[in-house]
Amino acid sequence: MQDQALISVKNLHKWFELRKWGFIHVGFVRAVDGVDFDIQHGEAVTFVGESGCGKSTLARTILGLYQPTKGEIFFEGKRLQRLGRWYRSQVGYIQQDPYGALPPFMNVRRILLEPMVVNRWGTRAERERRIREVLEEVKLTPVEDFIGKFPHMLSGGQQQRVVIARSIVLNPKLLVADEPVSMLDASVRVEILQLLQRVQEAHNLGVVYITHDLSTVRYFSERIFVMYAAKLVEKAPVRELIHNPLHPYTRALLDAIPDPDPENAFKFKEVPPGEPPSLLNPPPGCRFHPRCKDKIEGLCDREIPPEFEPVPNHYVSCWLYK
């Protein structure tokens, strides 16, 4: 159903139990702690935040690699826990490290063939034809020059193109890209992002793009979700969020983007003091309040802020907008 959300996440929690010496319970690492959002068919959404804020854990929970501690995930209106192998064929995964993501003992043909064999997709001739189609789609041409190569014989950008080809070989409806350009040279990052945009538009894919670098977001995302200490603190369309950031943490992320103007080379950029809180023992109230210069004493440090909508379709969890 096209009017139904592709994926819907309701009050999602993913906690990891921490034990001392293997048997003494210490507590729970709250990697994802109460997250809600919807992604429509053909929509690209970016999750941005510092390392350790829970972005990758959220991605792996969406993929079904982790079972939620609490909350529910729905894919086209159906509960994720009941979908099984069929769901795995509907979701493609693009890993951060392309070399580590590709089995070194398989050539490109075998790497792309494996998902089709596991999912019993097509005949032998259809599989061979599909392999050549996706290699051409990710611009690894002429195909004969790449189809027999092993991962170590490819450059980093070419390896990531193979990872993208593998993620779309089964014609999925959703792509989860976990920092897909962070380990690539700056010269090929834009090429890979433009490739992802073409693939998304050609197949009307929903995309979950995970990154800590806001400077790469504007290439193909439609909305940005800002994550801090396992919670979503701001959600808005890309242009609206970049030009009108509301949450103090979002403003800090935007201020941290390198400025190429030589006149700003010696300009001091103010950053929030301190470090992100421990997810084993997060602070009460707003989790950003220990680092926030605009906090409201007696409120931000005691009560968890709900989600406000000060601007249409722009949501922020901050008591400043009560």
Cα 203 vs. chain centroid, distance in angstroms? 19
pLDDT at position 81: 76
Q: Please report, for the chain, the start and end positions of each structural domain, with discontinuous segments joined by +.
A: 7-258+267-321
Residue 268, pLDDT score: 67
**CB distance 30 to 194 below 8 Å:** no
CATH assignment of 7-258+267-321?
A: 3.40.50.300
CB-based burial of residue 259 (10 Å sphere; 0-12 exposed, 13-18 middle, 19+ buried)?
A: exposed
Residue 257 DSSP code: S
CB 66 within 8 A of CB 136: no
Residues 54 and 227: their CA atoms lie apart, in Å, by 8
Full DSSP string of 42-81: T-EEEEE--TTSSHHHHHHHHHTSS--SEEEEEETTEEGG
Q: Using CA of residue 312, residue 56, residue 131, residue 115, what is the dihedral sign?
A: negative
Tokens describing residue 25: 């319970």
**Pick from 122, 142, 119, 205: nearest CA to 168:** 205
Q: Are 104 and 151 in contact (CB under 8 A)?
A: yes
Q: Report if pTM > 0.85.
A: yes
Q: Of all helices (H) and strands (E), which one includes residue 177?
A: strand 174-178
Q: What is the pLDDT along the chain (322 residues), one digit of tens a residue?
A: 346 899 999 999 999 999 888 788 889 999 999 999 999 999 999 999 988 899 999 999 999 899 999 999 999 999 987 777 889 899 999 998 998 999 999 999 999 999 999 999 999 999 999 999 999 999 999 999 999 999 999 999 999 999 999 999 999 999 999 999 888 888 888 889 989 999 999 999 999 999 987 877 876 789 999 999 999 999 999 999 999 999 999 999 888 777 766 666 667 677 788 888 999 999 999 999 999 999 999 999 999 999 999 999 999 999 999 8
Crossing angle of the two packed helices 108-118 and 124-137, in degrees rounded to 10: 130
Q: Of 65, 74, 83, which Cα lies nearest the Cα of 10?
A: 74
